[in-house]
Amino acid sequence: MTARFIVTGTDTGIGIGKTVFSAGLAGLLDGFYGKPAQSGLDGETDSEVVARLSGLPSGRVLPEVYRLKTPLSPHRSAEIDGIAIEAAKLSLPELPGPLIIEGAGGLMVPLNRQMKFICIVRDWQLPVILCARTALGTINHTLLSLEALRARSIPLLGIAFIGDEMADTQRTIAEMGRVRVLGRLPRLDPLTPFPKTCERPSTSPTSQRRHSEPLRCLASLYPACHRAGSADDRAHRRRLCRDARRQALPRRDLLLVGHHYGHRHPKIVEAIRHATETVDPVIFAGLSPAGRAVGRSAGRHGAAGARLRLLLRQRLDLGRGRAEDGARLSPQQWLPALAHRRDSAITATPSAR
C-alpha cells in the first residue's frame, strides 16, 4: 500500500489554499488527488484546478464521489440537490501511488446533519496535513484545529503554512501547538502551474537552492511524506486506532494517571506499577515523577517496558483538559482501589467522539 494523506485546513476559500497546496504536493509526489465531496460547480472545481496546476497526467485526478451544485457547506448543498451524503460511499481507493485527499472547508464541516468531515478522517486514520494561513487570526483557528485532531487521536503529519512569512505567528503555532511545521507555500503571483519534477527534490539546503521557489517550499514535505508511508508509520496508525477504540470503552478498562500524582512516595510508585501491570491501557496524562519512575524501571524489564513506552507516547496526544479531568481524583480515592483490585480503573473521560 502506498502513502495516503488528508489535506485539510483551518477554514475554507481565499486565504487558506488547500487546493493550490494539494496540487503542488500531488505533483511533487507524482501521485493521485481526490476530493470526495465538492460543493460548488460553477467555474473550476478543485479537481479541475489540481489537474491544471499539478502537471499530473490525466487519470491521476480521481472523480469526486459527490458533486454538489451550490457553494455551501456540503450538508446543505447536498440537501438542496436532494442527495444524502453517506459515509459508506466515501471509502478510500487503493492506488499504485501516493494519494492526496482534500476535504471541503475545515475539519468540523458537516457532511450531513449527523456527520462532520472529522468523523470520516478519524475512521480513515490517515496522516493529516493541516493547511493554515499565515495572516492574522490563524493562531486561534490553527490551535483549535489541532485540539480537535488530538482529541480524536487522529495522526497528524504537520502544518503547512500558506502565505507571506509571519515569523512570530508561525513560531507561536509550532510551539504552543506542539506541532511539526512542514513548510510554507508563499502567495504565488502569478499562480501558474507548478514546475514539473523530473527527479525527486533534494532535501539538502544547497541543492534546494536550485529549485524554484514553490518547489523549494514543498521539498521540505518530501521526506516527511515518505516516512508517513513507511511500515513504522503504518504500525503507529494501527496502534492509534486500537488505542482510540480502547479509550471509548467503559471506564473500568482504562487507567489514567493524572499529572498531580506527582510525588514519588514509594507507595504511589508501587500502586502505579501494580496498576500498569493489571490494567491496559494506562495513559500517563501529565508530567508525573512517579509515573516516570515506573516507566524507567519497567523499561528495563522487557515486554512491560515496551507497553509502557507506547502508553507514554500516547500521553503526548492527550489534551490538557482531559488530563485535568483525570486528575480531579485524589490519590486517596484511587490508591486503595489500585492496591486491592485487579482491573480496577481510575477514570478518564471517554475520548471525544
Q: Which residues are known catalytic residues?
A: 35
Piece of the chain touching ligand DSD by CB under 6 A; list 37-45, 134-142, 237-245, 258-266: 37-45
Judge whether 187 is annotated as a binding position: yes
Which residue among 5, 8, 10, 17 contacts ligand ATP (CB under 6 A)? 17
Residue 224, C-alpha cell as written in the block: 516527511
DSSP codes of every residue in 241-296: HHHHHHHTS-GGG-EEE-TT--S--HHHHHHHHHHHHHSS-EEE-S--HHHHHHHH
Q: How far apart are CA 79 and CA 164, in angstroms?
A: 38
Q: Per-residue string for binding with ligand DSD, 3-32, x by CB under 6 A? A: ---------xx-------------------
Q: How far apart are CA 321 and CA 313, in angstroms?
A: 18
Q: List binders of ligand ATP among 183-242 (CB under 6 A).
A: 185, 187-188, 191
Q: Per-residue string for binding with ligand ATP, 41-70, x by CB under 6 A? A: -----x------------------------
C-alpha dihedral (151, 352, 18, 74), degrees to nearest 10: -170
Query: How many residues belong to the chain?
Result: 353
Told to check if 28 binds ligand ATP by CB under 6 A, we report no
Q: Judged by CB, which is closer to Mg ion: 15, or 305?
A: 15
Beta bridge partners of 133: 162
Which residue among 38, 40, 46, 352 contacts Mg ion (CB under 5 A)? 46
- 14's contact among ligand ATP, Mg ion, ligand DSD, none, with CB below 5 to 8 A by partner kind, is ligand ATP
Judge whether 18 is annotated as a binding position: yes
Q: Per-residue string for binding with ligand DSD, 136-165, x by CB under 6 A? A: ------------------------------
Residue 212 falls in which region: left (phi positive, over 0), alpha (psi -120 to 50) or beta: beta
Q: How far apart are CA 141 and CA 106, in angstroms?
A: 10
